C-alpha cells in the first residue's frame, strides 16, 4: 500500500494519537486496544488472550518485555507482556500449562457492571471472557471473567479481574491464577527483588520443595523459579542500572512467582531469544497454594497495580516511604 493511500487526513493523526482509547489492528491483523494518558503514558491490550503487550511511561520507554520471537498467532500464547493464567497456574491441575484464558479471544465488554470504586480515568477498556463449548468439555464450569485494564493519570498500569461462577447446576468451582508479568530490565545481574525476605517458597526447580528465603533480597545468578507464599501487598523490583524501581501492588493475590529462565532454558524455548533472559524478569501476582473457590453467584476480584518510579536509596536499601510517596495510587486503594 502506498504511503498516500494509508495516511490519515490532515489533523486526523493527532486526534487519533490523543484519543484515550483506540481500537485498531496489531501484529498479524489481531485486534488490539491502545490506551493513552494525556501525559504520554500508554498501554496496548490484545483481545487475543486479554493480553497486555505494552506499557510505556510518559517518555515513551517500554516497561514490559515481549520477546522478539513472540508468536502473535493463535493458539500459541504471546511470549511476554502480561499473560493471564486462568483457570490454572502452570500444571497445578489437568489442563494445559497455565490454563486457557491466554489462548482465547476476549470480547470488549461495553456494559460492565459498575466497579465498587468509580474511576475518573478515561484510558481504560473492559473485556469479558466466557467459556466456549470446547472449554466446557475440558473444564465443565460456567463463568464470566471480566477484566478492566486502565492507565492512571500518573501512568500506573492497573488490571482488575472479576471472575463470577455462573454455574446453573449449583456446583462450586476452584481455580488457581496469576498475572504472569514480564518486566523489561537493563540486565538481570543488576536487578534485585525486595519484599519477599524471610518468606516460605516452593522451588519449582526442586519438585516444589518448600524453603524459607534467607537473603535480604532476591538476586539472580542462575535459573530461578519460585512461588513465594503469603506475600505482602507490595513488592519492589529494583533495576540498579536504570535507576528505576517497579512497584507491584496487588489485592486478592496472596502468592508471588519469581522467574527467570536463564541461558539453558532460554535456548530451549522456540519463541524466546537465546540471550533475552538478560533483559526480563517475571514477578507474578498469584493465587496458587490455596485455590480460589466460588459458589454459584459468587465473584472473586484480583487486582494488580504497577508503577515505575525513580529508585531511591537509604543505606543501600529501597526507601519504602519514597516509593509510596512517588506512586499515584494511595496505599489503601488496593485491599
Residue-wise pLDDT for 194-236, tens only, equals 999 999 999 999 999 999 999 999 999 999 999 999 999 999 9
Catalytic annotation, pick one of 44, 180, 194, 276? 180
Please check if 102 is assigned to a binding site. yes
The answer, yes or no, to whether the previous bond of 5 is cis (omega within 30 of 0) is no
pLDDT at 97: 85
Does 206 appear as a known binding residue? no
Instruction: For the chain, list residues with pLDDT below 70.
Output: 1-18, 116-119, 313-335
Backbone angles phi, psi at 101, to 5 degrees: -60, -35
Out of 37, 194, 276, 284, the active site residue is 284
The pLDDT value given to residue 305:
97
d(CA 105, CA 102): 8
79 is in an annotated binding site: yes
51 is catalytic: no
The pLDDT of residue 325: 35
Q: Is 180 tagged catalytic?
A: yes
Q: Which fold has domain 21-310?
A: Beta-galactosidase; Chain A, domain 5 (2.70.98)
- Listed by start position, the domains of the chain span 21-310
**Residue 92's pLDDT is what?**
87
Amino acid at each position: 500500500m502506498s504511503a498516500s493511500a494509508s495516511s490519515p487526513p490532515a489533523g486526523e493523526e493527532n486526534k487519533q494519537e490523543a484519543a484515550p482509547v483506540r481500537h485498531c489492528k496489531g501484529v498479524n491483523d489481531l485486534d488490539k486496544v491502545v490506551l493513552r494518558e494525556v501525559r504520554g503514558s500508554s498501554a496496548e491490550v490484545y483481545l487475543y488472550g486479554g493480553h497486555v503487550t505494552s506499557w510505556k511511561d510518559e517518555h515513551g520507554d517500554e516497561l514490559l518485555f515481549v520477546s522478539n520471537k513472540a508468536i502473535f498467532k493463535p493458539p500459541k500464547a504471546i511470549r511476554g507482556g502480561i499473560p493471564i493464567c486462568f483457570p490454572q497456574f502452570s500444571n497445578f491441575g489437568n489442563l494445559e500449562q497455565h490454563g486457557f484464558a491466554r489462548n482465547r479471544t476476549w470480547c470488549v465488554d461495553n456494559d460492565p457492571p459498575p466497579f465498587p470504586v468509580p474511576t475518573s480515568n478515561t484510558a481504560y477498556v473492559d473485556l469479558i471472557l466466557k467459556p466456549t463449548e470446547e472449554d466446557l468439555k475440558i473444564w465443565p464450569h460456567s463463568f464470566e471473567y471480566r477484566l478492566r485494564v486502565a492507565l492512571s493519570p500518573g501512568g500506573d498500569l492497573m488490571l482488575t479481574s472479576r471472575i463470577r461462577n455462573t454455574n446453573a447446576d449449583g456446583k462450586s468451582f476452584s481455580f488457581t491464577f496469576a498475572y504472569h508479568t514480564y518486566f523489561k530490565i537493563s540486565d538481570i545481574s543488576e536487578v534485585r527483588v525486595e519484599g519477599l525476605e524471610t518468606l516460605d517458597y516452593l522451588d519449582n526447580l526442586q519438585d516444589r520443595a518448600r524453603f524459607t528465603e534467607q537473603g535480604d533480597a532476591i538476586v539472580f545468578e542462575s535459573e530461578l523459579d519460585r512461588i513465594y507464599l503469603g506475600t505482602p501487598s507490595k513488592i519492589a523490583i529494583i533495576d540498579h542500572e536504570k535507576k528505576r524501581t517497579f512497584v507491584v501492588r496487588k489485592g486478592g493475590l496472596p502468592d508471588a512467582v519469581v522467574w527467570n529462565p536463564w541461558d539453558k532454558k532460554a535456548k530451549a524455548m522456540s519463541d524466546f531469544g537465546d540471550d533475552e533472559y538478560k533483559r526480563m524478569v517475571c514477578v507474578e501476582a498469584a493465587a496458587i497454594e490455596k485455590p480460589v473457590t466460588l459458589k454459584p453467584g459468587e465473584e472473586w476480584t484480583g487486582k494488580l497495580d504497577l508503577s515505575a518510579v525513580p529508585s531511591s536509596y537509604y543505606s543501600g536499601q529501597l526507601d519504602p516511604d519514597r516509593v509510596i510517596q512517588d506512586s499515584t495510587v494511595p496505599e489503601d486503594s488496593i485491599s
